Amino acid sequence: MVARSGPARERRLARARHRAAGRRSPLVLLVLLVLPLAASCGEGGQGGQGGPSALAPAGFGARRVAGLWWLLFGISAGVVVVVTVLLLWALARRRGPDVKVRTGQGNRLVVVLGVAVPAAILTLVYAVGLRDLEALSDPKDPGELVVEVTGHQWWWEVRYPENGAVTANEIHVPVGRTVHLRLRTADVNHSFWVPQLAPKTDLVAGRVNDMWVRAERPGAYRGQCAEYCGTQHARMAFEVVAQRPEEFASWLAGQARPAPPPADARAAAGRKVLESSSCASCHTVRGTSAAGRVGPDLTHLAGRRYLGAGTVPNTPGWLGGWISDSQTVKPGNLMPPQPLGPVELRALIAYLETLH
Ligand code: CUA
């Protein structure tokens, strides 16, 4: 028996390997395509008010962005399908390693699919993007509600010039009405982002940036600072609470009023603690002698859902912990630990709980 010669055997083996690889590759490709899709299924798209997904819009700005996102997604999916089909077709028609590549052919295909089609698609996307940018700019609505928002490390000051109401980390808006947000910063740059209502707008030192939102339905929409601004950037959250117009009107009127007088002896003692301790040098409670401007206005603190800019829920327990030593909850914030005795602390909590 004569041993087969080297080069012929090599070629045979190469062809066999090539065929085996050809059978495997479509399968590998399919797996590669499906994996990322499967991985992204778990979260995100849920409507609801809990998940701040830009793909569950509740305002005209976010609706524009979501539309643009789906357009880009559709185009990308189309490109993936076309390229995959062409690739599979080429793999199926493959005739082995010995076929000589003929150069100079297919130039027209490259020009059409590689230049003309992408140019047309990108021009279309650019035009749609310009249209959306225009739609996000000043809607010139004479009935707009102006809200002044100032970013601080790391919380949000909210003012309603219409009646002088001041609050923090919670922006109430009436459903269906255009709200003109005037965005400033007291220190470093921040970025205002409520994914379900509108795209981001930066708060830039030394200037005022404007944006307009209009909530389509009632709900609490989570917002987040979207520009790194220091160690507690991640805990610089807030909520936009969209209410029916009559509910909003009553909320706004309530926020402009001074704090209610203490209802009982313990609350009265708590108010004394507030006015005599260092609380008063940083916080304002309108209607008392506390008039500090460093931290959030606490006049209607009890009505807010969170403490520390979305950090912990506003419950008596968390409030006590926050007052005693907020540094354990949100290290680096400006509020120092308060060395209050248990009786004073309980009285202070009791008073703050009455501030609706
Ligand atoms: Cu403010 Cu990040």
**pLDDT tens digits for range 268-304:** 999 999 999 999 999 999 999 999 999 999 999 999 9
Domains in the chain: boundaries: 17-31+54-94+108-138, 145-256, 265-352
Are β-strands 190-194 and 198-203 bridged in parallel, bridged antiparallel, or unpaired? antiparallel
Q: Mapping DSSP to helix (H, G, I), strand (E, B) and coil, where does residue 184 land?
A: strand
What's the confidence (pLDDT) of residue 5? Answer: 52
**CA neighbor of 177 nearest in space, from 192, 162, 156, 193:** 162
Closest CA to 228 of 151, 142, 311, 282: 151
**Atom number, ligand 1, closest to the C-alpha of residue 234:** 2
Q: Residue 250's CB: how many other CB atoms inside 10 A? A: 11
CB-based contacts of 175, cutoff 8 Å, min separation 6:
215, 216, 217, 218, 242, 243, 244, 245, 248
Q: Which helix (H) or strand (E) holds 222?
A: strand 219-225
Crossing angle (nearest 10°) for helices 316-325 and 342-352? 130
Give the span between the Cα atoms of 25 and 38, in whole angstroms: 20
Q: 229 CA distance to ligand 1 centroid (A)?
A: 4
* 153 Cα nearest atom in ligand 1: 1
Instruction: Determine the topology of domain 265-352 in CATH.
Output: Immunoglobulin-like (2.60.40)
The residue whose CA has the least distance to atom 1 of ligand 1 is 190
Atom of ligand 1 nearest to the CA of 188: 1
pLDDT value at residue 3: 45
Using the mean position of ligand 1's atoms as its centre, give its distance from the Cα of residue 227 in Å.
Answer: 5
Ligand 1 atom closest to Cα of 228? 2
**pLDDT tens digits for range 10-26:** 766 666 565 555 555 55
Gap from CA of 77 to ligand 1 centroid (Å):
34
Instruction: Please identify every stretch of the chain with a pLDDT value under 50, giving residue numbers as ranges.
Output: 1-4, 41-49
Using the mean position of ligand 1's atoms as its centre, give its distance from the Cα of residue 126 in Å.
30
Query: What would the CATH number be for the domain defined by 145-256?
Result: 2.60.40.420
Ligand 1 centre to CA of 173 (Å) is 22
pLDDT of residue 29: 56
CA of 301 to the centre of ligand 1 (A): 22
Tell me the H-state helices in the chain: 6-39, 60-92, 107-111, 117-136, 245-256, 265-276, 279-282, 316-325, 342-352
Predicted local distance difference test score (pLDDT) of residue 42:
43
65 CA → ligand 1 middle, Å: 22
Beta bridge partners of 237: 224
Tell me what percent of the chain is helix, strand and coil, each rounded to the nearest 5.
45, 20, 35
Sign of the C-alpha dihedral computed for residues 114, 117, 123 and 128 taken in this order? negative
Fold match, 145-256 / 265-352:
yes
Ligand 1 atom with the shortest distance to the CA of 203 = 1
Dihedral (C-alpha) 159, 160, 164, 168: value to the nearest 10 degrees? -30
- Residue 27 pLDDT: 55
Report the pLDDT value the prediction gives residue 47, as an integer from 0 to 100: 37
* Separation between Cα atoms, residue 265 and residue 141, nearest integer Å: 49
**Which amino acids bring their CB within 6 angstroms of ligand 1?**
151, 154, 190, 225, 227-229, 233, 236
pLDDT for the residue numbered 244: 98
CA-closest candidate to residue 186, choices 159, 212, 163: 159
